[in-house]
Structures are given as C-alpha cells and as structure tokens.
Structure 1
Amino acid sequence: MREDDERLRVRLGDRLTEAGCLRTAPWRAAVKAVPRHEFLRGGFFEQVEGASPTAWRPVLPNGDGRWLERCYADESLVTQVAGTVVPGDLRGEIMRTPTSSSTMPSLVVRMLEELQAEDGHRVLEIGTGTGYSTALLCHRLGDGSVVSVEVDREVSGRAATSLSACGYRPNLVVGDGLAGHVDAAPYDRVIATCGVLTVPESWIAQTKPGGIVLATVGGWLYASELARLTVHGDGTASGRFLDGQISFMLARPHLPPPLGLLPDIGSGEERLTALGPDLLTSDWTTRFVAQLAAPRAQHITLSGEGRTHQILIDVQAGAWAVLTEADRGWRVRQGGPIRLWDAVEDHVARWCADGAPGLDRFEITVTPDEGQVIRWLGGRRSRG
C-alpha cells in the first residue's frame, strides 16, 4: 500500500496545484508528505443515493476496495453521525445528521494558504476533527507551534492516535473551541474548521496585534463565507470576506434551537411583498444578505390543503413570517415582536440599490463594545 499511498499523495498535490488551491512550496510539500488515509483508518460514511430522508452507509478499509482512492479524492468525508456513531459501529444504513468530517482537501489547503502563516508563527486551530489539517500545520510549522482544540473527546482521541502514527505531536486540547486556549496564548494565527455565527472575542483577545483570525461566518439560513480578520492593538479586529461560498458544520454551541410548536400562521398581519422566498434558496449572496437581516431565523417549508408555505422562524425572538403564493405574486403574514420579512426586504433592497456588491466587498469588524458588525462597502451595517 505504501507505493499506492505515495502515488496518490503526489497526485493529490498536483491536482490541487493545477486547480490554484495550493500555491506555495511549503504547503505543497506538506500535502505530498502527509498521508490523508491515516486519518481515515476508521472509515467514513457515504451518502446513499436516492434515499429520502438522507441516509448514510459505512465505507471501511477492509471491506471496500474503493477506500484508499476515496481518501485522496477532493471530497469531504463524513466520519461521525449523530454525535457518537462512527463507521465501524454500523452494518447497514443510518438516517442521522453528520457531526464530524474530514474536509475536502482543496478547502483545507485554500484556508491554510489564506492563513498566511510563516516560519516561527504559532497557530491555534479550532476543531481538530480527524487531525489531517493539524498534521499539515505540524509539517509546515513544527509540532511545538500548533495548538488544536476539539470539543469531542472521542474525536480528539482518534486524531491523537492518527497524528502519533504519522510522527506528529502537537498540543491537543479537549474543550470548547469558542473559548480558544488561553493557557498557550498569544498566537500569531487562529484558524477555525467549524462555522460560527459570530467570531468569538476570545479568539481576538488571544491573538497578537497584527495577527490573523480566519473563520467561516454564517447563520441559520446556511449561507456562509470565509472571513480573514487582522487583530489590532486596541483589542478590535477587522477584515474582509474571501468570496467562495464556503460552508462548514456549525460549532455545536452555535447550532439552531429546536423549532418547537409552529406559530399560528393564520394570525399576525398580512400584506403583499415584492420579494418571494426564492431568495432563501437560490442565489447564495442574496441569501447571505437576507441572513444578515435575520441571522437567528430558520427556514422551513410547510405544505397542506393544496398550498405551500415558506416560513421563517426566530425561536429566541418569538418572531415569524409566512410567505404564500398569491395571484399577484406573494403575500407575507408576520407575527411576534419584530417583523422578520420587513427586515429582510429592507436589507436586500438597500444592497440592490448599492449595486448588489459581491461578498468580496463585504467588511467584518469585531469590537468589545459593538460585537460583530458586517457591512458591504458603501452600504449599511449589520450587527451579528
């Protein structure tokens, strides 16, 4: 297997270089040196084609000849579902939500390149996962320069075993990654391999002035983007979004709450709306803008009595909006202390009036006083 593994590593590095994801020699050397399959020894889950709801089945090293090739494919591989179930636990299929994965290599290396780490830099990684990206960091910077925090003890333990098998021994911490790891601070770079609603102030406080925080920021409408922030001497941070429609599993404390009982959609105030619900499902950038207006809202579709309702619900605020197709377009009915769809309409209209700038024209700032604020350049601010 060793010759096959080496061939596949080299081929992966060449493909990522040709695609423009892998741009510099140190990271190319890391990709060609670190065996990704060692971090997938426990197997992975593949989606069962045509299953509804989504089902997953295990692909194991000893049971499927495709395993090694798939380890070096440019795809994300689910390694845990339902918070505890790993491929070796299962014979058959499971219909549960993925909770841990090995991120597609092109995204891993793109983020590592965007981190702009240099020799001598100390890096805090949020989300160890399988340990593959941790190994790449170790190869590039040295074990003593890498601290990786993982909330799941079992996941961290498996990563430690794989890292050790490859000869890497970074500082692995089990804990809440949103709190960082103050004991080893300050860091030159912070990189998060999970999505967040807001960039934690702890990451900024634990980063040296001039250092970089790289994180995927989104919301519960599931449009997210990679943000690169530079930390300033006054304890604030600011930066831009790196356009590319990047999505990660949200950090567990940032997952949406259960919807509970649905609102009485026959109550509230109704009116015609100029915007239909397609903006919640089609164009990524438009959905990101809508999400800025309602970052804690969840979107569901409800069908009954020959009609389909598109519903936004902010459980914490107790607010909701229901869109229903009408003869002249769409009607919206809203209830609760805030008008969710009014906010979405206003935000999207202002963005369009400013020329609908792309996400690379969006700026993010985090301050101790105001928290997280996102705006498009020349446009309005949105508090996270």
Structure 2
Amino acid sequence: MSDDDKALRLALAERLEASGHLRTGLWRAAVEAVPRHEFLRGGFFEPADSPGPTAWRPVLPDDRRWLGRCYDDASLVTQIAGTIAPRDIRGEILREPTSSSTLPSLVVRMLEDLQVEERHRVLEIGTGTGYSTGLLCHRLGDDFVTSMEVDPEVSTRARTALGQAGYAPLLVVGDGLAGHPDGAPYDRLIATCGVTDLPYTWVEQTRPGGIILATLSGWLYSSELARLTVGEDGIARGRLLDGQTSFMIARPQLPPPLGLLPDIEDGEERATPLAADALDDWNTRFVAQLAASRAQRLTLNRDGRTEHLLVDVDAGAWAALAQDGDTWTVRQGGPARLWDDIEETVTQWRADGAPGLNHCEVTVTPAGQTVTWSRACIGSRS
C-alpha cells in the first residue's frame, strides 16, 4: 500500500461519510482498506468533449490522471458494446457502454441498506469490476460471498483484481437472473444491475427473513432501489427506497431492437390531457412503466413538428403524441392502447396525491411482480 493509495482511500471514505452514504464503522473500514484502483487496472472510458452522440475515449494507467480518477465518486465505464475494453481503443468510440464500476457512494449506500450481519451469506448478482465484491469480502470474509457475472471476460478480470487485493470469493459465470441454487439459501441477495421484473428464483434462493436488494427498472429508463424481505410463505414484500438509483439493465432483460417502425399515419386519434413531456419527470415515468412495462420511447421530427412515439415491439402496439398549440393529441394502433393505459395509471396516481416512489410497495410471488401505492399517502412527496 503506497502513501498515495492510502491517502486517496481515506479521502474517499471521508467524502462518503460526509455525504451520508457511508454510515457505519465496519463499512468505513472496508472502504479504507479495499483499493478501488486495483479493479480499474485495465483502464476506463470517459466521455469525449465533442458535439453529437456521446463518444468514449480510454483513460489508461499511464495517464497521470488515472489514479486520482479511480477515487472520484463517479461511475467509470469499463466496457463498450459487450466486448471492447479500454486497451482495445485508440481514439474514440461511439458505441453503448455495457459494464462499469459503479460510483462508490451508490455502492456503499446499497451495502449499508443491505443490512448484513456477521456470518451472513451473500449472493451478489453482477460482479462487474469486483470492487463491491471486495468490500463484501472485507466485511464478511471470502467464504460468505458468492458473486455472479454473465460475461466471462469481465469475471476473469474481476478474479484477477480481487486476487491482487487479497480476496478469493466464489465467482460464478452465468445468468444472474437464475441465481446460484447450489449455494442457496442465502441470507442476503444484492443485484448491481437493473431488472424489469425481479426473478422469483431470487426469492426461492433467499431464506425466510432474508433480504433482497435490487434496482427495479424499465424500458422507459426510470428506476428505483427496492428492498424486499422474504416471508415464510415464499412471498417477498418491501418498498422502494427512493433516490433515483440507476443501473444498466440485466442483459437478458434489455429491450429488443426497434427495427422497422410502425406506420403511425393510421390509428385512432383523440385529444389527451396528459402531455408527452410528463414522461420527462422521473417519478411520472416510473409510474407510466407500471402501465406499459415493455414500451420504448423515441422522438421523431416530421414535417416541421415533433412527435413522441411509444412502441411495444412484442405486442405490436404503438402510440404517437404531438402538440398543437395548447392541445396534445395521441394516435394509437395495434392490439393494445399504450397511451390509454399510461394515461389511466398516471391520472390515478396523481389523484392519489402523486405519492413519492418511496411509498410504493413491491410484492414478488411465483405469479410475478406487482408495484402499488396507497391512497393513505395522499399529499406526500419524495
């Protein structure tokens, strides 16, 4: 441990404690001990300062900024397009990020919210760089930590980094949505990827009284952290914790390519009291996802005006919204009416006082996942 490394870890712990994310001494000791830079030896990507779509350029360990940046409270992209690592690129790349090192404040906030105790066995879904895995190992011991990663190359790099840092948990390559039944039951399960539907397999692999911590997301890309407790009846119940937590969605649950867009000239048209820009609000968008969980959103510029399009590829349903003066109209087609469902759900939520998402209750049964709010929350806000 060099003096520079130690000073950076101590400074990070101070910042996380001051911000309220790091709340207990045992997790502070983990942050002070686990070297985040060891998990970023392969470098990371930073957004390029250029107009247009976001381009990414590599920052490697020979860059004088690298070490300090490793201890910023920031998410650092470590993989692009499913296979491309920072060392693979010279210049810039315009593809989408597929793996990252999550900002430390969110990592420690989630670990605090997980409420682990000594000798608790933890299943982590999404090893990523391995930094959060290292923190768990420091807190609980290697034998109590199992971490799953869907990408073999990402898992291999994490294994190397964990070894360099002195940790040796059980690392499993596979679909995290299926969990790891060979090691069940677990006392705690934590997911560092977003899920559109929390798998019941996770409930089955968590002991009664155990806790599941995961980010519920959707294809409109509003998401929140949920903490559920598994009951003796095999049902997991809990609440959203609020805070606009965001993770990349688990790869098996990513939306399908939009492909050829539907012919939006046809369809039933009417005025709507709900403007398309209502979906710019994080909470409203999350509620809209409850009504149209598989809808994707895009904007089209046609004939000098902007149209807001929602498409459910699987159902073949679509809704196109446009503004004419103070009036919004919606045109819909396909076997379902996407905007009717969204409008009804958002209108009811607003009539109930638009309760903050931390008042939403989540239930996961063998039949699926439900998210509801209570009229008792009228007037409350997040």
TM range (shorter): over 0.9
2: CA distance between counterparts of 1:193 and 1:57?
A: 24
Give the length in aligned residue pairs.
Answer: 377
- Residue 244 of structure 1 corresponds to 243
- Residue 89 of structure 2 corresponds to 90
- The 1:70–1:325 alpha-carbon spacing in structure 2 relative to 1, beyond 3 Å, is same
TM-score, normalised relative to structure 2: 0.97
Offset at 1:51?
3.3
- Residue 36 of structure 1 corresponds to 36
1: CA distance between counterparts of 2:191 and 2:85?
A: 23
2: CA distance between counterparts of 1:230 and 1:51?
A: 46
**3-state SS of paired residue (1:222):** coil
**3-state SS of paired residue (1:20):** coil
- Counterpart residue type for residue 219 of structure 2: W
Q: Is the 8 A contact 1:350 1:379 kept in 2?
A: no
- Residue 354 of structure 1 corresponds to 352
- Residue 380 of structure 2 corresponds to none
- Residue 107 of structure 2 corresponds to 108
* Cα shift readout 1:137-187 (whole Å, capped 9, x = no counterpart): 000000000000000000000000000011100000000000000011110
- Residue 254 of structure 2 corresponds to 255
Query: In the alignment, does 2:369 pair up with 1:376?
Result: no
Q: Which structure 2 residues correspond to residues 315-326 of structure 1 after superposition, within 5 A?
A: 315-326=313-324
**3-state SS of paired residue (2:148):** strand
What's the C-alpha RMSD, in Å, of the aligned pairs? Answer: 1.1
- Counterpart residue type for residue 50 of structure 2: G
- Residue 267 of structure 2 corresponds to 268
* Cα shift readout 1:37-82 (whole Å, capped 9, x = no counterpart): 00000000000123311100000001x1110010000000000001
Q: Which structure 2 residues correspond to residues 1-384 of structure 1 after superposition, within 5 A?
A: 2-62=2-62, 64-281=63-280, 283-369=281-367, 371-378=368-375
TM-score, normalised relative to structure 1: 0.97
2: CA distance between counterparts of 1:320 and 1:97?
A: 25
Q: Is the 8 A contact 1:351 1:379 kept in 2?
A: no
1: CA distance between counterparts of 2:83 and 2:313?
A: 27
1: CA distance between counterparts of 2:49 and 2:304?
A: 29
- Counterpart residue type for residue 377 of structure 1: S
**3-state SS of paired residue (2:375):** coil
Q: Is the 8 A contact 1:30 1:139 kept in 2?
A: yes
Q: Is the 8 A contact 1:223 1:287 kept in 2?
A: yes
* Cα shift readout 1:72-114 (whole Å, capped 9, x = no counterpart): 0000000000100000111100000000000000000000000
**3-state SS of paired residue (2:94):** coil
User: For structure 1, which runs of at least 5 residues remain unmatched after alignment?
Assistant: none
2: CA distance between counterparts of 1:59 and 1:294?
A: 39
2: CA distance between counterparts of 1:112 and 1:91?
A: 36
Identity among equivalent pairs (%): 67
- Counterpart residue type for residue 46 of structure 2: E
Offset at 1:379?
8.0
Offset at 1:136?
0.1
2: CA distance between counterparts of 1:71 and 1:36?
A: 6
* Cα shift readout 1:286-319 (whole Å, capped 9, x = no counterpart): 1111111111000000112111110000001110
1: CA distance between counterparts of 2:115 and 2:262?
A: 47
1: CA distance between counterparts of 2:50 and 2:209?
A: 49
1: CA distance between counterparts of 2:131 and 2:325?
A: 54
User: For structure 2, which runs of at least 5 residues remain unmatched after alignment?
Assistant: 378-382
Offset at 1:377?
1.9
Runs of 4+ in 1 over 3 A off after TM superposition: none
* Cα shift readout 1:117-140 (whole Å, capped 9, x = no counterpart): 000100000000000000000000
